[in-house]
Amino acid sequence: MPFLGQDWRSPGWRWVKTEDGWKRCETFSHALEDGNNQLNDISHTVIITGDDENEEVYNTEDCEFAAKKRKKDHFRNNTDSQCFYREKWIYVHKESTRERHGYCTLGEAFNRLDFSSAIQDIRRFNYVVKLLQLIAKSQLTSLSGAAQKNYFNILDKIVQKVMEDQYNPRLIKDLLQDLSSTLCILIRGVGKSVLVGNINIWICRLETILLWQQQLKNLQMNKQVNNGLTLSDLPLHMLNNILYRFSDGWDIITLGQVTPTLYMLSEDRQLWKKLCQYHFAEKQFCRHLIPSEKGHIDWKLMYFALQKYYPIKEQYGDTLHFCRHCSILFWKDTGHPCTASDPNTCLMPVSPQHFIDLFKF
C-alpha cells in the first residue's frame, strides 16, 4: 500500500493557501538546512580535536545538545517557518485511528482557528462572543488547563477591545454576567472538585471578572465631534430603513434613545411585528398574544415575551464552516485544502452551539 509520507505515522504535508491555489509548505527552510550543515561541521571539528576518549565522548554529547538547541532557536526565529501557523482550520476527529492519535479539543481549536485574531474582525466578533457565552453556561467544568488559559486570554482581549473601541458593550456585559453567575455556583455551591485546576486560580479569575464588570459599568462613551452629515440629518424613510435592518430588539430600543424622531420610529407597531415574524413561527406568537389598551396586539411586548420561551434566530457576518467530505472546521473566507470534486456541496455553516457539540465526547 503506497504512503504519501516517509512514515505512515506522519501527520502528512502542511498546505498554505496562496493566490495561485494551495501549495505544500516545506518543513524546513534552506537557511535552516545550511545552519544544520554548519553545526555538523562544528561538532565534527570538536570531536577530532579531543585529547582522550573521555573528553571526546563529552564533547560529542555537548555538541549534539548545542546543535539541537541551535536548531530549535533557529526554527522558532526563522520567518520562513511561520507558515505552520497560517492554517486557520482544524481536522475534527473524535477517536484514535492508525493515521491519527488522540482527538482534537477545545483548547486546540482555539489556537488553530485563531480566535484571538478573529475578535479583531467585526464580522466574527459577535460569533466568538456568543461562543464564549455558551461555554460559560455549560462547558466550564470540561475545560482543560490549556483551554482555560486560551479562553480567558481571548476574553481579556475582548474586554480590552470594548474598552478601547467601545464596540457593543452590552453583549460583553451579558457574557461576563453569565460567566460570573456560573463560577459563583460552581465555586460556592458545588465545590472545587468539579472545576479543573486549583480553586484559588478560579477565585482569582472570578475577581478579575468582577473587575471587568465594574470597568464596563463605568465606561463612558466618547462624544463624536463631526461637523458633517449626522444621523439626524437623514430623511425619515432612510432612518426607517435603518431600523428595519436590525435583528435585535435591544438595538432598536438603544437607537431610539438617540433622538425624539428615532424614538417615534422605534415604537412603530409594524416594525416590531416584522421582528416577531422574523424570529418566531406563527404558532409560537399566536399562543402569547398580548393586546394593548386600544385592543391591538402589542408586538413590542410580544417580542420580549417570546424571547423568554423560544430562541431567536442568530445572525452573524461570518461563521465557521464544516466540510463533511474532509471533516475539517474552518473560517469560510480562509478556506481549506478540500479534495472533493465540488467543495461547495460539502460545506455546512456551524452555529456556536453546533461548534460546542462537535467537541463533546
pLDDT tens string 2-20: 444 444 444 556 777 777 7
147 and 163 in a common domain: yes
State the pLDDT at residue 15: 72
State the pLDDT at residue 155: 92
350 and 255 in a common domain: no
284 and 353 in a common domain: no
292 and 276 in a common domain: yes
- Domain-embedded: residue 211: yes
Alpha carbon separation from 183 to 7, 204, 315 (Å, rounded):
46, 11, 28
State the pLDDT at residue 210: 92
Region of 92 please: left (phi>0), alpha (psi -120 to 50) or beta. beta
Instruction: Report helix, strand and coil shares of the chain as percent, to nearest 5.
Output: 60, 5, 35
Low-confidence ranges of the chain (pLDDT < 50): 1-10, 28-33, 39-60, 75-85
- Domain-embedded: residue 320: yes
Q: How many CB atoms lie within 10 A of CB 251?
A: 15
291 and 260 in a common domain: yes
State the pLDDT at residue 169: 86
Separation between Cα atoms, residue 65 and residue 119, nearest integer Å: 41
Helical packing angle, 269-279 and 249-256, nearest 10°: 160
216 and 133 in a common domain: yes
State the pLDDT at residue 225: 61
Give the burial class of 297: count Cβ atoms within 10 A of its Cβ; 0-12 exposed, 13-18 middle, 19 or more buried: middle
* Domain count for the chain: 2
Separation between Cα atoms, residue 319 and residue 276, nearest integer Å: 24
Separation between Cα atoms, residue 256 and residue 285, nearest integer Å: 24
- Domain-embedded: residue 55: no
Question: DSSP 3-state assignment of 230?
Answer: coil
State the pLDDT at residue 109: 83
Q: Which amino acid is at 359?
A: F
320 and 284 in a common domain: no
State the pLDDT at residue 333: 78
Residues contacting 351, CB < 8 A, separation 6+: 314, 319
Question: Which residues, listed in sequence order, are joined to residue 350 by a DSSP beta bridge?
Answer: 320
Structural domain containing residue 253: 248-309
123 and 187 in a common domain: yes
Residues contacting 31, CB < 8 A, separation 6+: 74, 78, 80
State the pLDDT at residue 193: 60
Q: What is the pLDDT of residues 111-147, one digit of tens each?
A: 788 888 888 888 888 889 999 999 988 888 888 888 8
Quick check: 269 and 256 in contact, CB under 8 A?
no
Separation between Cα atoms, residue 174 and residue 322, nearest integer Å: 28
Quick check: 80 and 31 in contact, CB under 8 A?
yes
Grid coordinates of 330: 474552518
- Domain-embedded: residue 96: no
State the pLDDT at residue 84: 40
